[in-house]
Amino acid sequence: MALWEDIAKSAKDAAAYTVKKTEELTSIAKIKMSIRSEENNLDKCFSEIGSLYYAYQRQGEDHTSEIAALLMEADQVKEKIKCLRDSLAKLQKSVICPGCSAQVTTEYEFCPLCGAKLKDAATSGEQKNTDDEA
């Protein structure tokens, strides 16, 4: 009977959906963890830069090259964090505000925090409806 096939199909779909959701949640958790650990790395970088600079100011020790290396490292870590935040935002169906870097869901056209115009990711989906009719 067709009804049973429908029920079986929707049960299968629901199971597939749950698996997909679980996978999404797992990767969201993983990305969040990575962001946290990269932020720790960044803090370590900054505090090392600070203490080297202090030693330079107070004891006249020259740490210029070490500080330069740490600055480079901090740049790389910052870039990593940015990439991680981007992928997290994509998984959570949101965008990163170009104005204040806040994570905003795609339902907004403008950032609720700073008012900056958000990417057109949200509006491109709406435009599809008019294309279908044309």
Kindly list the residues in this chain that would bind Zn ion in the complex (CB under 5 A): 97, 99-100, 102, 111, 113-114, 116
CA–CA separation, 35 and 22 (whole Å): 20
Q: Which is nearer to Zn ion, 64 or 101 (by Cβ)?
A: 101
Q: Which is nearer to Zn ion, 31 or 97 (by Cβ)?
A: 97
Q: Which helix (DSSP H) or strand (DSSP E) does residue 20 occupy?
A: helix 2-59
- Quote the least distance from Cβ 107 to Zn ion, whole Å: 15
CA–CA separation, 102 and 106 (whole Å): 12
Q: 66: which strand partners?
A: none
- Quote the least distance from Cβ 83 to Zn ion, whole Å: 19
Q: Which is nearer to Zn ion, 81 or 95 (by Cβ)?
A: 95
- Quote the least distance from Cβ 108 to Zn ion, whole Å: 10
- Quote the least distance from Cβ 118 to Zn ion, whole Å: 8
CA–CA separation, 65 and 70 (whole Å): 9
Terminus-to-terminus CA distance in the chain, angstroms? 39
- Quote the least distance from Cβ 102 to Zn ion, whole Å: 5
Read out DSSP for 53-91? HHHHHHH----HHHHHHHHHHHHHHHHHHHHHHHHHHHH
